[in-house]
Structure 1
Amino acid sequence: MSKQTAKVVRFHQTGGPEVLQIEELPLPEPGAGEVRLRIKAIGLNRAEVMFREGKYLVDPTPPSVLGYEASGTVEAIGEGVDRSWLGKTVSTIPAFIIGKYGVYGEAAVVPIYAVAEYPAKLSPEEGTSIWMQYMTAYGALIRIANLTRGDYVLITAASSSVGIAAIEMVKAEGGISIATTRTSAKKAELQALGADHVIVTDEEDLVKRVQEITGGKGARIVFDPIGGKGLEALAAATTHSGIIIEYGALATDPTPYPLFTALAKQLTIRGYTLFEVVENPEWMAKARQYVFDHLANGDFKPCIDKVFPLSQIVEAHRYMESNQQIGKIVVTT
């Protein structure tokens, strides 16, 4: 890499991991309100897989960049940005439109409002593994559901980075986490990460187990990125006046609305994405401070599953699609 170019990952058509290409491109210059980062580590997210496939909330316009989370050093600033940012070690908050900005590469331009410092004790690999997962969990559990001590919280797909963040957050707030995983392969690891209870859904009856754990009450909060037909079982496992927060659409089957259960229990079933938080400056500031403080005091510790070099970005995406990971997949430059 010369001073005037940088390796950047782009794709020219939607499809599988193999559409990702590493290209040597001119070093981007930040515009007004933007900074350029020299990137050290990149945190992968399921949203980027969906974006690459053309199945995300935003449609790509090839050739497209991608990537929400990276850690690195601010090496250039645009007009209107305080010069004190130069040289700072930061990571990016997913507060921008993917495709317009992207952080897969050796350098990237991002808006200054999407940049934050993280506790100095974290490594670059840990620093890139915080904002998406913890702010997603914060918006759902703290801001929307008002998680309080003693609440039972059912966390599906709990081995994801957001799921693990939710387990930590429930513990920090004095709640009781009930994590789900499809097979027993991840059960012990989820328990080691702090889950109070783990339900293996391929082997156990979800509703029956939740009723046993909660003394017949059901979970007050359900935090689910899957959707699909499983929503009916989640509604059955929720307590009266409970809330189900749907923050993803990993299921390939349609999602039926559990009307009679919702009527009988007066349930709230609510769609949610991280952008609800990051598009509101006041909420984002509160979330950022909450996450920073809990990272600093040790309540939260990013769980990194596997690290790939940038040259293996295709393999990293394949690994994410395999669903073998427990925690964050990171790519280093």
Structure 2
Amino acid sequence: MKAAYISATGSPDAIQFGDAADPVPGADQVLIRVEASSVNPIDTYVRGGVIAMELPTPYFPGCDAAGVVAAVGEGVQRFAVGDRVWTTNQGLLGRQGTFAERIAVDEDWVYALPDSVSFEDAAACALVGVTAHLGLFREAQLKRGESVLVIGGSGGVGSIVVQMAAAHGARVIATAGSEEKAEKVRSFGAEEVILYKTQSIAEQVQRFAPEGVNVLWETRREPDFATSIEMLSERGRMVLMAGRDAQPPLPVGPFYVKECSLHGFVMFKATPTEMRSAAEELSQLMLDGKIRANIGARFPLDQAAEAHRLQESATLGDSDQLCGKIVVNHRMSSST
């Protein structure tokens, strides 16, 4: 089979494309013929060696994939050959990744894909959708009618948080970097969008929610806790999913006096049970049309290095080139 892989961590140039051994599903594993995968910031961190993890050799980057079951190993109970499926949480903690024509995945991390949901949409929504669900419901315990501020509403995770919160009956305000991105965020269900380059986030939030927002979803690498606590309501909850190296000061007094709570989490540490619960609800939301993929760019598998280069420029270089998720279409050729 063909695969995009690395033999050692490094820059996007470390990604090669060529032949790799076909995987054989072991006990309790599903062999998936991959139709589409996607790129996440964590994929670039693992590929670059920023996050040290045990990696197979060769290593296929990628957490997410969608495709069709080609074979099942002994003990598999939930899937059969020909089933449409999606997966996430791959390429991490010693598991092989998804940038290959076929992948063998533990059944615990595989979920049924409704017929009406495309492979590209499923791959684009996988990790970000599970992340949004865990953060909003397991961590923040979001309730219908509450208000949510999403920092970065047009991004990969942020766009799903906006949609998921709105679908749950929350009032959503989000930030965006341009009017074009703002229109997209409004289409996802945000009642108000803040153009953060020209508008004060704090002032706009005050107008939207005079008593403060109930949930603040933070995607920036350098959170501003002083301003965030001002924008939170009594017993407001702040969800952190970025800023691995950040060490900003925390105004403890205002934080505890308002009885706020801070929730930091990474989705790949969720248990299989937690992941499956989030994944099954995500599949239903996609089926119902309440969650739609925010795809910003597409690449064929043999241009995986270019896909990583674009993701890295958006994540670390704050480039405006990317709005949404990068999808890798395994049936697309570089000449398409």
Task: Spell out, residue by residue over 1:203-225, the C-alpha distance to the aligned partner (whole angstroms, 9 max, x if none).
Answer: 2222222112112x111101113
Question: Which residue is 2:318 aligned to?
Answer: none
Task: Spell out, residue by residue over 1:292-312, the C-alpha distance to the aligned partner (whole angstroms, 9 max, x if none).
Answer: 222222211222222111111
> What is the identity percentage for the equivalent residue pairs of Structure 1 and Structure 2?
28
How far is the alpha carbon of 1:130 from its aligned partner?
Answer: 2.4
Count how many residue pairs are aligned between Structure 1 and Structure 2: 324
Query: Aligned Cα RMSD in Å?
Result: 2.2
- Identify the match of residue 168 of structure 1 among 163, 172, 175: 163
Question: Which residue is 1:330 aligned to?
Answer: 327
- The gaps in structure 2 that reach 5 residues or longer are 315-320, 331-336
- Identify the match of residue 5 of structure 2 among 10, 14, 34: 10
How far is the alpha carbon of 1:61 from its aligned partner?
Answer: 6.3
Is the contact between residue 52 and residue 60 of structure 1 (CA under 8 Å) also seen in structure 2? no
1:56 is paired with a residue whose SS is coil
Higher relative contact order (CA 8 A, sep 6+): 2
Structure 1 stretch 50-59 or stretch 119-128: which is displaced more? Answer: 50-59
Question: Which residue is 1:118 aligned to?
Answer: 113
CA distance in 2, matches of 1:96, 1:316: 16
Is the contact between residue 68 and residue 93 of structure 1 (CA under 8 Å) also seen in structure 2? yes
How far is the alpha carbon of 1:41 from its aligned partner?
Answer: 0.6
CA distance in 2, matches of 1:276, 1:59: 15
Question: Which residue is 1:222 aligned to?
Answer: 216
How far is the alpha carbon of 1:280 from its aligned partner?
Answer: 4.6
CA distance in 1, matches of 2:155, 2:179: 15
Structure 1 stretch 30-39 or stretch 284-293: which is displaced more? Answer: 284-293
TM-score scaled to structure 1, two decimals?
Answer: 0.89
How far is the alpha carbon of 1:79 from its aligned partner?
Answer: 2.3
Is the contact between residue 108 and residue 272 of structure 2 (CA under 8 Å) also seen in structure 1? no
Instruction: Write out aligned runs for 1:70-149 (5 A).
Output: 70-82=65-77, 84-94=79-89, 97-149=92-144
Is the contact between residue 70 and residue 103 of structure 1 (CA under 8 Å) also seen in structure 2? yes
Is the contact between residue 72 and residue 91 of structure 1 (CA under 8 Å) also seen in structure 2? yes
- The gaps in structure 1 that reach 5 residues or longer are 1-5
Structure 1 stretch 237-246 or stretch 74-83: which is displaced more? Answer: 74-83
Is the contact between residue 93 and residue 116 of structure 1 (CA under 8 Å) also seen in structure 2? no
Question: Which residue is 2:32 aligned to?
Answer: 37
1:253–1:247: structure 2 CA closer, same or farther, 3 Å change rule?
A: closer
The AA in structure 1 aligned to 2:124 is S
CA distance in 1, matches of 2:203, 2:302: 47
Task: Spell out, residue by residue over 1:45-67, the C-alpha distance to the aligned partner (whole angstroms, 9 max, x if none).
Answer: 11101111222374656643221
1:79–1:280: structure 2 CA closer, same or farther, 3 Å change rule?
A: closer
Instruction: Write out aligned runs for 1:1-333 (5 A).
Output: 6-56=1-51, 58=53, 60=55, 63-82=58-77, 84-94=79-89, 97-215=92-210, 217-249=211-243, 253-277=246-270, 279-281=271-273, 283-323=274-314, 324-333=321-330
Task: Spell out, residue by residue over 1:101-135, the C-alpha distance to the aligned partner (whole angstroms, 9 max, x if none).
Answer: 21111111111111111111112111212221222
Task: Spell out, residue by residue over 1:167-195, the C-alpha distance to the aligned partner (whole angstroms, 9 max, x if none).
Answer: 11111111111111345452222223322
1:285–1:26: structure 2 CA closer, same or farther, 3 Å change rule?
A: closer
Is the contact between residue 154 and residue 179 of structure 1 (CA under 8 Å) also seen in structure 2? yes
